[in-house]
Amino acid sequence: KAGVTQTPRYLIKTRGQQVTLSCSPISGHRSVSWYQQTPGQGLQFLFEYFSETQRNKGNFPGRFSGRQFSNSRSEMNVSTLELGDSALYLCASRGGRSTDTQYFGPGTRLTVL
């Protein structure tokens, strides 16, 4: 089975722009979660989608949004980018026999200039 894929792997944007990141989960997994990882804050939970519905949400401003499509692929959007949004954005999927275990993609490195 193919793993979780994320595109693009690297992205450079400037303040005020918006960005969309994409995640394709493991085949058969219906849950997709997004995390932001920075050296100072560690892994911070953004939100989780399950069957096209947001099931859980972390403590991030409304500039961060997401959605999930009927094929379980998910996108995350960040509007009005700030310097502090520079981070590694990770997507994780879960499902199948072990619904607790999350499998991560390689991440998208976002740099905001």
Partner 1 sequence: TQLLEQSPQFLSIQEGENLTVYCNSSSVFSSLQWYRQEPGEGPVLLVTVVTGGEVKKLKRLTFQFGDARKDSSLHITAAQPGDTGLYLCAGARDAGKSTFGDGTTLTVKP
Binding site for partner 1 (CB under 8 A): 4, 6, 31, 33, 42-43, 45, 48, 50, 55-56, 88, 90, 92, 98-107, 109
- C-beta of 37 vs 79, nearer to partner 1: 37
Residue-wise DSSP of 96-109: TTEEEEEEE---EE
Q: How far is the CB of 9 from partner 1 (least distance, A)?
A: 9
Whether 82 contacts 112, CB under 8 Å: yes
Q: How far is the CB of 63 from partner 1 (least distance, A)?
A: 22
